[in-house]
Amino acid sequence: MTIPQQKNQSTARAAVEAPGAAPDSKAATRGIVAATIGNALEWFDIAIYALLAIYIGRNFFPSSDPGVELIQAFAVFGVSYLIRPLGGLVLGSFADRHGLKKGLTVTIRLMVLGTALLAFMPNYGTIGILAPIGIVLARLIQGFSAGGEFGAATAYLIAQNGKRKGFLGSFQFASQGLGSLLAAIFVAVLTTVLTDAQMTEWGWRIPFLFGLLVGPAGFLIRREMKEVPVQGGAAEEKHSPIRDVFATQKTGMLLAGGALAVSTALNFILQYMPTFAIKELGLEPGISFTSLIITGVILTFGTPVVGHLSDKYGRLNIMVPTVVVLLLAVVPLFMWVINAKSFLVLALVMTILGLLKAAYFGALPSVMSDSFDVRTRATGLSFSYNTAVVAFGGFTPMIAAFLVQQTGQAVAPGYYLAVVAIISLVALAAGVKLRGIR
């Protein structure tokens, strides 16, 4: 990147983020709700699919080997992430050129469409090969939608008040915690009150039907939200965010994606843990899924607290020690839960991992946001986020299940997470040196 380009980006960022009049608290609250409701729905659907992978595998990928059914279901879970970078570029660029509000209304419409296909798709026994093809199509639509969701929603949140970037940006991930929490509650209740046969036959569809109720409400809220003037006027519609990102902000994409790596891998490990407890530890489904409620509560309510503290004490002063602790503790934690094989230990491990995740990613959206020029922020955030999620998130449950099956070592997911933690440490160090992010 040339020096003039760096100056132009700094000037553009400063022009938008320079503190002005304090925003009206009611307007800020409406902005938070509008920006995060779609993200919560997205992560509700993601978590539901991961948690119900056993039942989805039986319906759409039948096999004589239950392990193969599970791997195939998780493979579709991962494949849907391959389209997310494309969605990030297309929808992120749309939001940068035409407004964040318009971008966010498009993403939630697509998410509802994908959810409807999942809720009503006949199983393999009814329509044969069309059933798994339909599931793949539904997940691809959701993946494309989710591709543009993160960047537009984060950019919208950060634009509310430049002085409180850590706190406002934290609601991006707090909404992910809320989606995961609702998913965990649904699955814990369903697997407790319904038999295994009922869950396989029709019970797994109930959470997706609930998602269809939330979607239209989210669309109406977003339709009434106010636009934020981050594009600099009508003349800015002529610029090409995709071209600008790849021409001038490749370093920013590497920094943002690398910083996200451990957070997204840990998130999907948490989603995988109930399945891990059922298959590897022999715990009951209802008990195993209940443990995920703990982390959902921590992520929903703890993340904004960390975001607030990061505005006060510095973002990396919290994030770096957290990822170091995770690096050192994750393998011992897996060994503990494997040897104990009890709900109490599973709950304690999930609590520790949930606290570490909240401490790390409370300030992460604002750190990632500072890697990009405001004119292309939605595009840069969306592409870097979704590329990192493809590499370190979407396939994590499948990788974890595969590593356990191939190595015969139930602790294998812990080693994988430790390696990813090192990648994020390197990215954070580079962010300090190259961009002065603190």
Hey, what are 156's tokens?
């919208």
Residue 235 inside a domain? The answer is: no
Hey, what are 341's tokens?
């094989």
Q: What is the pLDDT of residues 86-97, one digit of tens each?
A: 999 999 999 888
Residue 18 inside a domain? The answer is: no
Q: What is the pLDDT of residue 326?
A: 94
Task: State the average pLDDT over residues 336-344.
Answer: 86
Residue 63 scores a pLDDT above 60:
yes
Q: What is the pLDDT of residue 410?
A: 80
Lowest mean pLDDT among 189-193, 293-297, 355-359: 293-297
pLDDT-based confidence at residue 238 (cuts at 50, 70, 90): low
Q: Contact at 8 Å (CB) between 40 and 179?
A: yes
Report the chain's mean pLDDT, rounded to a whole number: 82
pLDDT-based confidence at residue 20 (cuts at 50, 70, 90): very low
pLDDT-based confidence at residue 25 (cuts at 50, 70, 90): low
Q: What is the pLDDT of residues 285-303, one digit of tens each?
A: 777 777 778 888 898 899 9
Residue 1 inside a domain? The answer is: no
Q: What would the DSSP string read from start to end of 189-218?
A: HHHHHS-HHHHHHTGGGHHHHHHHHHHHHH
Lowest mean pLDDT among 42-56, 242-256, 327-341, 354-368: 42-56
Q: Residue 315 gets which letter from DSSP?
A: S
Residue 231 inside a domain? The answer is: no
pLDDT-based confidence at residue 15 (cuts at 50, 70, 90): very low
Hey, what are 356's tokens?
């570490």
Task: Count CB atoms within 10 A of the CB of residue 379.
Answer: 34
Residue 379 scores a pLDDT above 70:
yes
Q: pLDDT exceeding 90 applies to what percent of the chain?
A: 24
Q: What is the pLDDT of residue 427?
A: 93
Residue 6 inside a domain? The answer is: no
Task: State the average pLDDT over residues 311-320.
Answer: 92
Q: Residue 334 gets which letter from DSSP?
A: H
Q: Residue 21 gets which letter from DSSP?
A: S
Name which of 209, 197, 195, 236 is nearest 97 in CA terms. Answer: 236
Q: What domain range is 99 assigned to? A: 27-224+241-435
pLDDT-based confidence at residue 325 (cuts at 50, 70, 90): very high
Higher pLDDT pick, 189 / 47: 189
Q: How many domains, in total, are found in the chain?
A: 1
Q: What is the pLDDT of residue 149?
A: 86
pLDDT-based confidence at residue 322 (cuts at 50, 70, 90): very high
Q: What is the pLDDT of residue 17?
A: 44
Residues contacting residue 238 through CB under 8 Å, at least 6 positions apart: none
Task: State the average pLDDT over residues 177-200.
Answer: 88
pLDDT-based confidence at residue 216 (cuts at 50, 70, 90): confident
Residue 197 scores a pLDDT above 80:
yes
Residue 71 inside a domain? The answer is: yes
Q: What is the pLDDT of residue 394?
A: 65
Task: State the average pLDDT over residues 320-334.
Answer: 93
Q: What is the pLDDT of residue 353?
A: 92
Lowest mean pLDDT among 88-102, 146-160, 268-282: 268-282
Q: Contact at 8 Å (CB) between 269 and 263?
A: no
Residue 233 inside a domain? The answer is: no
Residue 219 inside a domain? The answer is: yes
Measured distance CA(89)–CA(343) in Å, rounded: 43
pLDDT-based confidence at residue 1 (cuts at 50, 70, 90): very low
Q: What is the pLDDT of residues 100-153, one digit of tens each?
A: 888 888 988 898 898 899 899 998 889 988 988 898 899 899 889 888 888 888
Task: State the average pLDDT over residues 310-337.
Answer: 92
Q: What is the pLDDT of residue 5?
A: 45
Per-residue b/e over 63-100, b at no fewer than 16 CB within 10 Å?
Answer: eeeeeebbbbbbbbbbbbbebbbbbbbbbbbbbbbebb
Q: What is the pLDDT of residue 426?
A: 94
pLDDT-based confidence at residue 27 (cuts at 50, 70, 90): low
Q: Angle at the Cα of 45 (from 42 to 47), degrees rounded to 5?
A: 105
Residue 364 scores a pLDDT above 60:
yes
CATH value at residue 382: 1.20.1250.20
Task: State the average pLDDT over residues 70-83.
Answer: 76
